[in-house]
Chain A
Amino acid sequence: MLGQEFMRNALLAGTFVALACGVSGWFVVLRGQVFAGDALSHVAFPGALAAAAAGVDQRIGLFVATIAAGAAIGMLGRGVLAGGRGNDTAIGIAFTFILGLGVFFLALAGTSAAGASGIAGAHTLFGSIFGLSAGEARLAAAVGLGAVLATAAIARPLLFSSVAPDVAAARGVPTRLLALAFVALLGVVAAEATQAVGALLLLGLLAAPAAAAHRLTRAPFAGVALAGLLAVGVTWGGLVLAYEIPSLPPSTAIVALAVGAYGVAALLDGRPHR
């Protein structure tokens, strides 16, 4: 299996993308920003299509769209960066508009190359991890590693300002700046992970391993590590499964394993009823 070059590329890119998703996902779940992460992952699709329509590299479109969407969500709902129930509406509206733009770009790109845009669209939506070239895989691994290091660099103040924002602000922690930096970082992770599991399935890697880790341990740094390990584990498992069963798409296998891990963690979680 490891003799196949496409499999080595998929494992290299998948490992680091999954690690980045798991680690940043732990903070996403802690901060109640799952819907914001979901929105970021969906806007990656219009970004890639816009890049296709403009004739530039898809990855530029991915990164610009996800980071811009993070900023837009932050502006529409002032409290959004803190997470919470009431902000869902602003997030929902911002990202349906951007999805609408995606339809527009699909039509725009479609007028020049109808068949190619459909395939590019499907790849963006559902990922094509077995189709990565060696260069793309190395770049994905580098970006994933960078995102993990950046998360680690802001981990302590971010944890403080997520758990007790008022106390952190009073102690001089720049909570707003941290929140913005985190959403931007999330945008980078979303754009990178889109290439591995696709825009529609990113949530599986971002939310499910992290949610499982939150169920299993309350210790913060053990939780982060566990989320990262779970994400990498399900990615390896999913890749191997998809390799052995040709009709099973790798994205489906990865996400199904991730959600399965969450289900098992929910069963193991013996927390008493409040």
Chain B
Amino acid sequence: MADALDPTLSWNVVHDAGELLEYHFMVNALLAGSVVAVMAGVVGWLMVLRGEAFAGHTLSMMAFPGAAAAALVGVPGAWGYFLFCGAGAGAIARISGSERFSWSEQSAGIGSVQALALALGFLFVSLYGGVLGDLESLLFGDLLGVSDGQVLVLAIVAAIALAALAALARPLLFASVDAGVAAARGVPVRLLSLAFLLLLGLAVGATSQITGVLLVFALLVAPAASAQALTARPLVSLALTVALALLVVWLGLGIAYFSIYPAGFFVATVAFAVYVLARLIAYARARALG
């Protein structure tokens, strides 16, 4: 595709950006990427705050059996994504909501949920037969093949997720920062935990259509972890997370346009570079303060 378009990089940034926006698929990719970045940034910020990165990763894996099952039954892939992500969120909430179990037992349970989901996904793929060519786009996404309809669906999902988060924001933040005190004050901690995991599943299900199952995490975790390394003030780091997520998507897509290599690689690499930079700045600051 890149060869046919023959994109050339000049030193004129405005001209390059203009060339990039002349193509409908690039506009769609940037729109979808921006929606996903805002949603993944906000949800990821809470996920990192709550220390639920493993749960988030497991939920992102749910998209794979979801898509494979949808292909097998012959319904749109998004149905499968959201069904499996929802079921996974319920299972994880049941495991991690139980205070009987230590953290390591909880993570072993979450890991087992993930393994079962992936095993089912592989079964569906082999039952369907011959979709292994599409497996790569399923696992690693198809940023440059986003349709108008997908952009619309993404925008609606993001609006729902952000509205729900805004409604839950105060008790959720309270429960995330200190679950014990929140529970004592009558905040329904377990219900909130389930609600958040369901939202996480929704966000992941939508994001994975764009970045692929395996790389959702780059957008969920790296901007949030970078922002939280740089500032401890909640609202500032939330805003910084969204800004960094947008930067990661735009830079990743921009570089991918001028290269023959896949966009997912550049998005993941820029996200990692941002995180390393943030950690270095935080380290230098800590040194300067003595």
Interface residues of A (CB under 8 A from B): 29-35, 37-38, 42, 76, 83-86, 88-93, 96-97, 99-104, 106-108, 111, 118-119, 121-122, 125-126, 198, 200-201, 203-204, 206-208, 210-211, 214-215, 247-249, 251-252, 255-256, 258-259, 262, 266, 271, 273-274
Q: With the chains together, A21 CA to B126 CA distance in Å?
A: 25
Q: With the chains together, A89 CA to B227 CA distance in Å?
A: 12
The 8 Å CB contact of A119, one of B108, B115, B132, B215, is: B132
| Contact yes or no, A89 B53, CB < 8 A | yes
Given A99-B214, A200-B122, 16 additional A-B pairs, CB 8 A: A29-B108, A34-B108, A34-B111, A89-B48, A92-B56, A93-B272, A103-B261, A119-B132, A121-B135, A121-B136, A201-B118, A204-B116, A207-B108, A211-B108, A249-B126, A252-B120
8 smallest beta-carbon distances between A and B, as pairs: A100-B268, A204-B115, A211-B108, A88-B53, A32-B104, A97-B272, A255-B119, A207-B111
In the complex, whether B198 has a CB less than 8 A from a CB of chain A is no
Contact A259-B116, Cβ < 8 Å, known A29-B104, A97-B272: yes
Chain A residues in 8 Å Cβ range of B30 = none
In the complex, whether B110 has a CB less than 8 A from a CB of chain A is yes
Chain A residues in 8 Å Cβ range of B118 = 200-201, 203-204, 255
Chain B residues in 8 Å Cβ range of A249 = 122-123, 126
Pairs across A and B, CB under 8 Å, 9 listed: A34-B104, A92-B217, A93-B222, A100-B267, A204-B115, A207-B108, A214-B105, A255-B116, A262-B112
Chain B residues in 8 Å Cβ range of A207 = 108, 111-112, 115
Q: With the chains together, A137 CA to B54 CA distance in Å?
A: 33
Contact A103-B215, Cβ < 8 Å, known A126-B122, A200-B118, A211-B105: yes
Q: Which of A33, A88, A103 has the most CB atoms of chain B within a 10 A radius of its CB?
A: A103
Contact A204-B132, Cβ < 8 Å, known A96-B272, A210-B108, A211-B109: no
- Residue of B with least CB distance to A39: B57
Name B7-21 residues within 8 Å CB distance of A: none
Chain A residues in 8 Å Cβ range of B225 = 89-90, 93
User: Smallest distance from the beta carbon of A182 to chain B beta carbons, Å?
Assistant: 14
User: Smallest distance from the beta carbon of A36 to chain B beta carbons, Å?
Assistant: 10
User: Smallest distance from the beta carbon of A231 to chain B beta carbons, Å?
Assistant: 12
Q: With the chains together, A32 CA to B133 CA distance in Å?
A: 36
Q: With the chains together, A204 CA to B109 CA distance in Å?
A: 10
User: Smallest distance from the beta carbon of B184 to chain A beta carbons, Å?
Assistant: 17
| Interface range, B side | 35 or more
Q: Which of B100, B118, B120 has the most CB atoms of chain A within a 10 A radius of its CB?
A: B118
Chain A residues in 8 Å Cβ range of B266 = 100
In the complex, whether B260 has a CB less than 8 A from a CB of chain A is yes
Interface residues of B (CB under 8 A from A): 48, 51-54, 56-57, 61, 99-100, 102-105, 107-116, 118-120, 122-123, 126-127, 132-133, 135-136, 139-140, 214-215, 217-218, 221-222, 225, 260-262, 264-269, 271-272, 275, 279
| Contact yes or no, A83 B57, CB < 8 A | no
User: Smallest distance from the beta carbon of B51 to chain A beta carbons, Å?
Assistant: 4
Chain A residues in 8 Å Cβ range of B217 = 92, 96
* Majority secondary structure, B binding face: helix
| Contact yes or no, A34 B110, CB < 8 A | yes
Chain A residues in 8 Å Cβ range of B214 = 42, 96, 99, 102
Chain B residues in 8 Å Cβ range of A91 = 53
| Contact yes or no, B115 A255, CB < 8 A | yes
Q: With the chains together, A29 CA to B262 CA distance in Å?
A: 36
Contact A32-B48, Cβ < 8 Å, known A92-B57, A92-B217: no
User: Smallest distance from the beta carbon of B280 to chain A beta carbons, Å?
Assistant: 12
Q: With the chains together, A106 CA to B133 CA distance in Å?
A: 12
Q: Which of B107, B126, B140, B261 has the most CB atoms of chain A within a 10 A radius of its CB?
A: B107
- Residue of A with least CB distance to B53: A88
| Contact yes or no, A204 B268, CB < 8 A | no
| Contact yes or no, B272 A203, CB < 8 A | no
Q: Which of A93, A111, A119 has the most CB atoms of chain B within a 10 A radius of its CB?
A: A93
| Contact yes or no, B119 A252, CB < 8 A | yes
User: Smallest distance from the beta carbon of B147 to chain A beta carbons, Å?
Assistant: 22
Q: With the chains together, A274 CA to B100 CA distance in Å?
A: 6
The 8 Å CB contact of A256, one of B110, B119, B135, is: B119
Contact A251-B119, Cβ < 8 Å, known A85-B51, A118-B133: yes
Q: With the chains together, A42 CA to B140 CA distance in Å?
A: 13
Contact A203-B115, Cβ < 8 Å, known A88-B51, A211-B109, A252-B120: yes
